[in-house]
């Protein structure tokens, strides 16, 4: 575990001083902060990562549908980002999609682990009807999508990432990202239509 790993935790006490605008918070950090973090300064790394922790947690929570697992995934992604920071190409503006792609990969790895599938099967309620658990039709339809379909929708619509950043987080071209968003939205719309009819 790197020296900055213990400090990088999701906090709910105070909003980010810039006012919650994640893009502004990341873009206003000087490039020297990124260089300093890449050279091993854990305080600089924590300053860069802090405005990204909330959207990272929201991404992981939707992808894993489990608060504890989402917190673990973001913590693990933070440690991996600390270790791989020197691999980041570009300016500070590329930090957000780069970090969110690490979070998305961590969510994929969590879902692939054998214990995850066994645990999630054990938690499925016997009566999972339309009104079960206070979950809306939209939430249920989103969770019914495969993780591959869910990810582009969450990045683009829920986290409000521009198409370019969504593409970078998905490691695809903007055209491919647009296509994935369209296909996933079409599947989501079809699921909602079926639920509304029945």
The answer to whether the CB of 149 falls within 8 A of the CB of 187 is yes
In the chain, which residues fall in CATH 1.10.1740.10? 1-124
CATH class entry, domain 131-198: mainly alpha
Q: Say what the pLDDT of residue 113 is.
A: 73
pLDDT at 94: 82
Q: What is the pLDDT of residues 128-177, one digit of tens each?
A: 444 445 567 788 888 888 888 999 999 998 898 999 999 999 999 999 99
Question: Mean of the pLDDT values across residues 41-65?
Answer: 91
**Residue 21 DSSP one-character state:** -
Residue whose token pair is 């902060």: 33
Give the class (CATH, top level) of 1-124: mainly alpha
Closest CA to 2 of 104, 111, 81: 81
Q: What letter would DSSP give residue 146?
A: -
What mean pLDDT is reported for the chain? Answer: 75
Task: Please give the Cα distance from 58 to 67 (Å, whole number).
Answer: 9
Which of 2-11, 15-24, 89-98, 152-161 is least confident? 15-24
Exposed e or buried b per residue across 100-114, where buried means at least 16 C-beta atoms within 10 angstroms of its C-beta: bbbbbebbeebeeee
pTM higher than 0.85: no
Largest CA distance in the chain: 58
CB 121 within 8 A of CB 186: no
For the ranges 16-30, 74-88, 105-119, the one whose mean pLDDT is highest: 74-88
> What is the DSSP-derived secondary structure letter of residue 131?
T
Residue 20 has pLDDT above 50, yes or no: no
The C-alpha angle with vertex 53 and arms to 47 and 54, in degrees rounded to 5, equals 130
Res 85: pLDDT: 84
């Amino acid at each position: 575990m790197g020296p900055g790993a213990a400090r990088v935790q999701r906090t709910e006490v105070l909003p980010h001083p810039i006012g919650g605008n994640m893009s502004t918070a990341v873009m206003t950090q000087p490039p020297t902060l990124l260089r300093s973090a890449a050279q091993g300064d854990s305080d600089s790394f924590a300053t860069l990562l802090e405005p990204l922790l909330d959207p990272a947690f929201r991404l992981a929570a939707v992808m894993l549908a489990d608060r504890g697992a989402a917190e673990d995934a973001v913590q693990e992604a933070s440690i991996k980002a600390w270790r791989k920071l020197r691999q980041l190409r570009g300016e500070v503006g590329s930090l957000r999609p780069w970090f969110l792609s690490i979070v998305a990969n961590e969510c994929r790895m969590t879902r692939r682990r054998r214990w995850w599938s066994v645990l999630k099967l054990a938690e499925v309620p016997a009566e999972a009807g339309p009104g079960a658990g206070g979950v809306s039709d939209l939430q249920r339809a989103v969770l019914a999508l495969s993780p591959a379909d869910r990810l582009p929708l969450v990045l683009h619509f829920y986290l409000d990432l521009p198409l370019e950043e969504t593409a970078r987080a998905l490691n695809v071209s903007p055209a491919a990202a647009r296509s994935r968003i369209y296909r996933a939205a079409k599947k989501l719309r079809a699921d909602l239509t079926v639920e509304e009819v029945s």
